Structure 1
């Protein structure tokens, strides 16, 4: 045959779908590592009774490590082959997870957790890689597919860790992750193509250039603030849910809160559809609908302080709204400067996780004083902030045109 089957449009589409599913798996398996320790705090307390009061540092330093990794490692995707970066970080993650699993005292576990957070930014190589592989008309759908894997990793990590720890102990959680990463590394070597570096800037200038991107692109600033406000709303709910379920009338343990992650997975499954609509209707329209969905979810939450069914409905609406906005925002920013997608993604995701930390902090302050009603109002306020910023950006776009 003079023409390879791989050159036909149908074969090309199948090949792209396969690569996107692989990238989605990479994102989900990688990011899950920063959430495994959250349901294991009581296990750590029992294993290290002399340091019991410090176990809360473990998830905190993991999140800090992830933020540092986004800032310091994620931009390297513009400078080097992303496939090589993914494999190197995967190898480093396996070593770090083994250290965590074998930790005989809490300081070692804390240090390993910091490194786990830094290296888990493998996920932030997968998303811009998808934007690079997909043609412009399918970029939103491609980003949505990979982001669905990332969100599934976030939502299901707590459930998986809780179940494994209950039957096999907390050290097995980290061991199981090593096995998953090693299998994934083999598939990456066999299936993932190399990426083409788009920058020759030295490392220091590469980091400094992110500030220039913020100054240069109004759309990046707008998307970052909208995304931060939406993730703040998302985080305020998930950071307080376990406290709500532990009290009257539910009296449910942490496993019940973890199981809500399975409910939230409905939002992840809707991600590729949201990306497709973003490609067809434009990202601005989808973001507007997404913000409205998040606002509705907090109205539902406010009316569901004693209703599991209401909370389930609210979780589905919240996760679909947040996920659809995330995909549409990223579809917008990846089109701004194709040769700087990793750096653009870093700016956006750093703002995004700052918003998440703010949401968790507000939840910790509001819950003891104002209860669930206060949390619902605060979540609605974050949605209103996203709506105000988005509408201001829309007016500016109309004026500029």
Structure 2
């Protein structure tokens, strides 16, 4: 597969990365509609099984921190192929896990190894012109976002038909196909960092300390994603009770509703023709906050939850794409390390949202979850209002 030198990167490669991103990132989210099934199968509490989601997100953050920076130091295609073998092994462990501690370890490893999409996003940004950057990032992100959302739908259906273990076994088979596709079709890119691994990690810290645009984008992204995770992690517990009494396939189907928002968000880059980047982010975060009004006041109805899911996905993913566009405009060849700082923060925020929501559910049920989601979205919005214009001005 060759690069299109006139535009930097061919559409074929962009769409290949988009599809693979969706298939790989889905590994992190199959568990969400399956938590109730796992709880019943292993006879463990809802709070104990919710740690499966938390550990997957923590693992993802660790993978982003420890693996993704290596994309600047090693040949990326080789790194991806090795990582896919580790993903396969982690999914097989989850498939055959018999005890709770085995689920926890497998979940952590699945998260840590399923970071390949975050090696693809910097490739799209690095090889795109400034005018195409947000569009190409949006295409890759559309695959990633659909993978996140449709994984909940697929996970719920497969879990109800064949059990929760079948879903992870199927995912392992998909990773074999992905490995073959990467081996045959993905172009090789040379590394752009020649120091030691310690130097590489030190430069990640340096970027976090010296780039205010990156820090603000990271905080906004973390709070917004934490807000969305609070909803999806506890939705299965909310809907298995009155008035819904819904199974995992119904809960998973809410991923289809979220896909509407994700697909719309993939086009958000086109709004830059009419609005500046900071204003798009403001409106996106406002949509996240608005979604919680529907989720709280109409949370006992299907229509209220559907609108809430569509809006939270639209807002979170729109702000996510524009956050990435924002910090990838920084003139630096450290694209993987810039992405590491942001995405580690992003998934720490997701883990925080999941953890807080699980505590809130235990004490206050759905009302507590809605408070957590609203609070995190308010923090994202306030930080943007207070600092975005000042940072943009000082960075000129």
Same fold judged by TM-score > 0.5? yes
Write the distance in 2 (CA, Å) between the matches of 1:47 and 1:155.
Answer: 24
Q: In the alignment, which residue of structure 1 is the partner of 2:86? A: 92
Q: If the length of structure 1 is used for normalisation, what is the TM-score?
A: 0.88
Q: In the alignment, which residue of structure 2 is the partner of 1:304? A: 298
Q: In the alignment, which residue of structure 1 is the partner of 2:267? A: 273
Write the distance in 2 (CA, Å) between the matches of 1:196 and 1:384.
Answer: 42
Listed as ranges, the matches of 1:131-280 within 5 Å are: 131-278=125-272
Write the distance in 2 (CA, Å) between the matches of 1:167 and 1:176.
Answer: 13
What number of residue pairs does the alignment pair up? 394
- Cα distance change on mapping 1:314 and 1:57 into 2, 3 Å: closer
SS in 1 for 2:10: helix
Partners of 2:213 and 2:391 within 8 A in 1: no
Say which structure, 1 or 2, has more relative contact order (CA 8 Å, 6+ apart).
Answer: 2
Greater mean deviation of Cα atoms: 210-219 or 193-202: 193-202
Listed as ranges, the matches of 1:363-378 within 5 Å are: 363-378=357-372
- Root mean square deviation, CA, Å: 2.8
1:284 matched to 2:278? The reply is: yes
- Cα distance change on mapping 1:327 and 1:194 into 2, 3 Å: same
Q: In the alignment, which residue of structure 1 is the partner of 2:77? A: 83
Q: If the length of structure 2 is used for normalisation, what is the TM-score?
A: 0.89
- Cα distance change on mapping 1:271 and 1:192 into 2, 3 Å: farther
- Cα distance change on mapping 1:336 and 1:245 into 2, 3 Å: same
Q: In the alignment, which residue of structure 1 is the partner of 2:11? A: 17
Deviations 1:304-327 (A, max 9, x none): 132211221121111111111000
- Cα distance change on mapping 1:323 and 1:278 into 2, 3 Å: farther
Greater mean deviation of Cα atoms: 280-289 or 335-344: 280-289
Partners of 1:44 and 1:52 within 8 A in 2: no
1:379 matched to 2:373? The reply is: yes
SS in 1 for 2:74: coil
- Gapped regions of structure 1 (runs ≥ 5): none
Q: In the alignment, which residue of structure 1 is the partner of 2:289? A: 295
Write the distance in 1 (CA, Å) between the matches of 2:238 and 2:90.
Answer: 34
SS in 2 for 1:339: coil
Q: In the alignment, which residue of structure 2 is the partner of 1:30? A: 24
Name the structure with the higher helix share: 1
Write the distance in 2 (CA, Å) between the matches of 1:369 and 1:333.
Answer: 39
Deviations 1:174-228 (A, max 9, x none): 2322222222222222221112312112111111111110111111111111111
Among 65, 70, 81, the residue aligned to 1:71? 65
- Cα distance change on mapping 1:254 and 1:234 into 2, 3 Å: same
